[in-house]
């Protein structure tokens, strides 16, 4: 984990240096950079995937459409775009836990999850998660999947971009949409982490 943290700090420093250079050379303005950040924080990203998840949790008909054709179901909510042409939602159940990876490069369902995290593109993650998924989930993400649950690893490609529909927690039947949205994390839609703890 310390390597992961150090890597994040190094990346942040590089991004800041690159940003400063682009501004100094007049390639970009601070306003343009701020707008790009705003787009990825509010207009694309895992919050859109969370909306899809909550809709599937609360609308059985939508859930069926999502599992049958994720691309078309997401379009019903206005979610589509580049790298979202062939989305496949994988449903977690009491007996199956799904995890996504792209072993060739970093194919990722951008419209529902936004930008891929750096570790998703790391060759070590891409190789290890396919060989020893339980070990990687436990050691890299502090996420233990019970032995009674089968772990399935799905390899995304440019033709097929998988993402995970987490299982709705018991006892949330009367929860508001806002409460449910707060549970859904990017990691839970990749399959490397649990839902967030209820507030």
Q: Active-site residue numbers?
A: 102, 105-107
Tell the residue number behind the tokens 């199956």, with chain if given. Answer: 96
For the chain, how are helix, strand and coil distributed in percent, rounded to 5? 50, 10, 40
The enclosing H or E element of 195 equals none
CA gap 186, 193 in Å, rounded: 8
114 φψ region: left (φ > 0), alpha (ψ -120 to 50), beta (else): left
Closest alpha carbon to 107 in 190, 3, 5, 195: 190
């Amino acid at each position: 984990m310390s390597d992961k943290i150090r890597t994040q700090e190094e990346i942040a420093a590089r991004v800041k240096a690159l940003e400063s250079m682009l501004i100094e050379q007049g390639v970009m303005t601070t306003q343009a950079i701020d707008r790009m950040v705003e787009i990825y924080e509010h207009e694309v990203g895992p919050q859109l995937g969370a909306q899809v998840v909550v809709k599937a949790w609360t609308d059985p008909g939508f859930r069926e459409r999502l599992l049958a054709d994720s691309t078309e179901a997401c379009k019903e909510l206005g979610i589509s775009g580049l790298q979202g042409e062939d989305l496949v939602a994988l449903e977690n159940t009491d007996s199956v836990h799904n995890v996504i990876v792209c072993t060739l490069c970093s194919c990722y369902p951008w419209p529902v999850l936004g930008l891929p995290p750096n570790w998703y593109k790391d060759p070590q993650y891409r190789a290890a998660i396919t060989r020893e998924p339980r070990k990687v989930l436990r050691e890299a993400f502090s996420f233990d999947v019970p032995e009674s649950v089968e772990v399935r690893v799905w390899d995304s490609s440019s033709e097929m971009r998988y993402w995970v529909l987490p299982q709705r927690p018991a006892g949330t039947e009367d929860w508001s949409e806002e409460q449910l949205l707060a549970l859904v994390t990017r990691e839970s839609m990749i399959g490397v982490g649990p839902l967030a703890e209820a507030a």
